[in-house]
Structures are given as C-alpha cells and as structure tokens.
Amino acid sequence: MCAQPIGIGFIGTGGISRAHAKAYQQFPELAKIVAVCDVDAARAEQAREEFGASFACTDMAELLARPEVQAVSVTTPTALHAPAAIAALEAGKHVLCEKPMAASAAQAKAMVKAAEQSGKTLMIAMKWRFRPETLAARQAVVDGKLGDIYFARAIGWQHKGVPARPSFTRKELAGGGGMMDNGIYNLDTVLHILGHPRPLAVSAQVGAWIGPRGSKNWQVEDFTVEDFGACFVRLEGGCALFFAHSWHVNLPEDWGIGVTGTTGGLAFDIVMAKPLKILHGEYDDIQDITPDPMPEGNKTLGDFAYEIREFLTALHEGRPSPVPGDPFYYSNVIFDAAFESARQGREVTIEW
C-alpha cells in the first residue's frame, strides 16, 4: 500500500517511453517520474527534462540504487526487457514492462521467477487487455456463451508497416520481427479471451520475404528478423488457433480476431474498427447477444493512460498485477516453437 505518489524510473527512453511518460503525468496523485536511464547520455538528459525527472544516468544500476525509485517502466528494445526487468525486481522495484514480454520463453520465465522471489509486481504493458471489445469477449467465454470452443484466429496483416529502425529489425536487439513486435497484440488478446490455455504444439512458416528485398526506408544488412509468420497452434482443451502476422503483405489490411464454439462465436477487429459481434444459440436459433452498452474499459481514458492507471492503482491498493507475467509468457512459448517449427519444417511439440 502506498500513501504518497510512487516514484517512477525509466529504463530506456526511446519512442514508446514518451507514451508511458505522458500517461504517468496524467495521475500526479498516484505517481511522479523521478529518474531516467538510457545508454545514450544525450537522450537520457533530453528525457529527464521532458519527463520532469530530477535525475538521469546511463547506468541502470545507478537508477536502481536510488531509494526514491519505487517502480520502473522498462521501455528498451525487446532483447533488453528481461535483463532490465529482472535487475529492477531484484533491486526491490515494481516493474511495468513493454510488450513483447521478452526475446525468448526462457527469459520470460526468468522474469516471472524474479517477480515471485522479490514479491514485487510485474505487469506487462498490453493495452488491448483493457479494450471494451476484449472485456466483453472474455466475459462471453467466462459465461459459457460459446459452448465448447474448438477454433480461434488472430490475424495481423499490415500494409507497409515495417518499423525501419535497427531496434526493430535487428534480431540481437528486437528478439524477433513482425510476428513478435505487433503480432503480440492479437496473439495475447485471443489467448486472454480463451482463458490462456497452454499451447501444446505449433506448426509454422516464418521468414523474411520483404525485408531482404530492400527499401529506401532501411538497409538490407540491418534486416535480420522475420517479417512474416503463420502458425497453427494446438491448445490445451482441444482448441485450434490460427495465428499470423506480417509487417507487410500484399493483401487488404486485417487485424481480425475470431473465436467459435458449439453454441456461439465472436469476432472483431480493433485496428480496422470492426465492432465486436457475439452470437449465441443452437444451429436453428442463433441470436446476436453483443452487449449494449459495451463495457467502458479504456474507451474514455485511452490505451496508455488506462494501462498506467491500472498499474499504479494495483500498487497503491496492494492488488495483484493487472497483466501478470504468468501466463503472459505463453506468447513467448508460441514464438519460440514457431521459430523452431520453421527451422525444422515440421510441427514441434511443446514440453511443459
């Protein structure tokens, strides 16, 4: 429980840190940004001034040693998420970590273990968890409106969506490419709606078809991640999941999520603004049961502000993490299995 505003530190001050900072600044009664860290000293100093912090450094250990820092936002490239989050947790700080959770399942599990051992909160910054569509869809599943669920899909077809910066396109920094970077939105959302069943096996086609062709926006030698991934995932309980994402496909843009069961189904597309529709009933009597009004969720506050408020409120009230690392790390298990399946050219079984 916290009576005073929580002191916030930033590890990494790249683009996404601005969204976090603006959100924290909306809740001065809950938090105050006090310190920032970035390997680039000039960028750290710029963020210190912009965020209203009193301290900036280039060494993460310096920031974590400061007692006024009670919680941190980890907004580094993905490959650095786990080292930063684990160090922060071990230093007794609460952690809000940007998505994707980590570069591998092993790293993600280590983050979960560090949170458990420290007793501190680890929240993954997955803003779609709080969308009205996600909340209503999850509730329909909890209420049994879809019956026995046997198939789900989570598609992310982008058009000209390559983020042409090395922190996204070099594997040693990003961990993975389009499938991980933006695919995590739809993948985590559908897994959450389903109640996070464990993935049991994955068969995947993963690779880079667009990046190596080059563009005026990036250098070919800087493109070492996948730009496309398509996966058939067998989930615990008998549900099959088709998950696919690409930064660029020559198809209409599509971010559709769909779930179907024996007595109902649902579908929506957040990016393309296709509203949620929930159907329920038997073959001869299917009814539209989409809630009206929808849950409020983050509709009024917006994605980042709502997410940050949830994090801060959980800390102030001593509540569990709104988006805990376990079972969020299942997404990394699927990513790892997809890469391995593509390498072997066959379905791979996941050992638990």
Task: Note the pLDDT tens digit of each residue in 99-123.
Answer: 999 999 999 999 999 999 999 999 9
48 and 102, same domain (yes or no): yes
Residue 58, number of CB atoms within 10 A of its CB = 15
- pLDDT score recorded for residue 341: 98
* Residue 1, domain member (yes or no): no
Domain at 214, CATH number: 3.30.360.10
Same domain, 264 and 315: no
* Whether pTM exceeds 0.75: yes
3-state secondary structure of 300: coil
Asked if residue 142 and residue 273 are part of one domain, the reply reads yes
Q: Is residue 208 part of a domain?
A: yes
The verdict on 274 and 148 lying in the same domain is: yes
DSSP state of 328: H
Q: Which domain holds residue 88?
A: 6-127+303-324
Residues 105 and 228 in one domain: no
The domain tally of the chain equals 2
Clarify whether residues 238 and 160 are in a common domain: yes
pLDDT at position 2: 66
pLDDT tens figures, 34-89: 999 999 999 999 999 999 999 999 999 999 999 999 999 999 999 999 999 999 99
Q: What is the pLDDT of residues 207-249, one digit of tens each?
A: 999 999 999 999 999 999 999 999 999 999 999 999 999 999 9
